[in-house]
Amino acid sequence: MKKFDLSALIRPHLLALAPYSSARQDFKGVANVFLDANENPYSLPFELGIDEGYNRYPDPLQVALKKKIGKLKGIAPEHIFLGNGSDEPIDLLLRLFCQPQKDEIIITPPTYGMYAVSAAIQEVGIKKAYLKPDFSLDVAEIFRQVSPQTKLIFLCSPNNPTGNLLAKEDILQVLENFEGIVVVDEAYIDFAAADSFLPLLAQYPNLVVLQTFSKAWGLAALRLGMAYASAELITFLNKIKPPYNINLLTQNAVSKALDKENEVRHCIQILVEERKKLENFLYQIKNQTGVIAEVYPSAANFILFKTNPDYFSADTLYQKLTEKGIVVRNRSREPLCQNALRLSVGSVEENRLFCQVLEQLSQ
């Protein structure tokens, strides 16, 4: 039988593609405390039920669920697109606006990795306007990178992995002066003491806002993300999405979760308080032992901090923590993040264990 060469059939640019590596892919051992994936450590208590017609296809446009989300967000349903996580609308926006091997996007590293991965899969060019050393936007550099082929600019605020909010005036400057689509990714906005860009949708027809139920709502396993945009743009996203992209289990579970907004708000308050405690602890370690070199202010449910290589490199401290059953995220290979670890805010007990172990390692 003739040898079958699969690689000869695959699109050449995909053979060398570096895939997105999730937190759970980075860690392959056994641990007790997972502070690596920016998950909400608390689950909402509700029953799914299994007798709701799962033999039928789900509503392809999720009309009932969009009404509930719209009521919560103060947005008309026709301005809402629901996707399989935020990754689906990211992918669809690229498909909608970018021609392969011709058009390009601008990203602002260090930032969420799927913007670049999705673009690379589709052979869309990627330009990088790196954040400034304080992790603020370099607006002048963004516009130096813009060309007639630039169709999308992705801005993550609060930014992952740095945790900071991007200055509103910087984002507005981009919105007002770029003729393409500006995507503001607000996956962590519920943890920030700042307003969402949602109220500006009517003012800026080139604005797309991304949000998710994976973080503050504690529904990461259900994979539901939202894109908010003009009704016209949402109509096009609905045209090109898979017909039944949101399964009925997810639609039902999220609908029930939306009835527990008060519980979610209480949970967010706890996580913000725990974030502050962790920040104070990390500053204490920094000032008392010098093991930590820098702690960055966060508006998200995680904290980025840098180790002092005279004591531990980020790689070494990451390994020592995992040996104690605690997993954080090693971000030291990201631009501007040398010797940096990202710490997700866990439950009260998980955070206590992390502090206990880090204090022991710092002695």
Mean pLDDT of 104-130: 96
pLDDT on residue 12: 67
Backbone angles phi, psi at 361, to 5 degrees: -70, -25
Q: Rounded CA gap, 62 and 81, in Å?
A: 9
Give whole-number Cα distances, 334 to 87, 101, 111, 142, 339, in Å.
Answer: 20, 26, 9, 19, 10
Class of the 63-260 domain?
A: alpha beta
What is the end-to-end Cα distance of the chain in Å, rounded? 64
All CATH 3.90.1150.10 domain ranges of the chain, comma separated, are 6-42+263-362
Is-contact 285 278, C-beta < 8 A? no
Segment 313-344, tens digit of pLDDT: 999 999 999 999 999 999 999 999 999 999 99
Give whole-number Cα distances, 242 to 84, 226, 247, 331, 338, in Å.
Answer: 10, 15, 11, 33, 40
Q: Identify the CA nearest to 78 among candidates 212, 268, 231, 257.
A: 231
Is-contact 33 327, C-beta < 8 A? yes
Segment 34-69, tens digit of pLDDT: 666 665 675 666 565 555 667 778 888 999 999 999
| Residues β-bridged to residue 307 | 292
Q: Rounded CA gap, 158 and 216, in Å?
A: 13
Q: Rounded CA gap, 289 and 281, in Å?
A: 12
pTM of the model: 0.88
All CATH 3.40.640.10 domain ranges of the chain, comma separated, are 63-260
Segment 265-303, tens digit of pLDDT: 999 999 999 999 999 999 999 999 999 999 999 999 999
Domain 6-42+263-362 in CATH 3.30.530.20? The answer is no
CA angle 303, 201, 134 (to 5 degrees): 30
Q: Rounded CA gap, 165 and 297, in Å?
A: 9
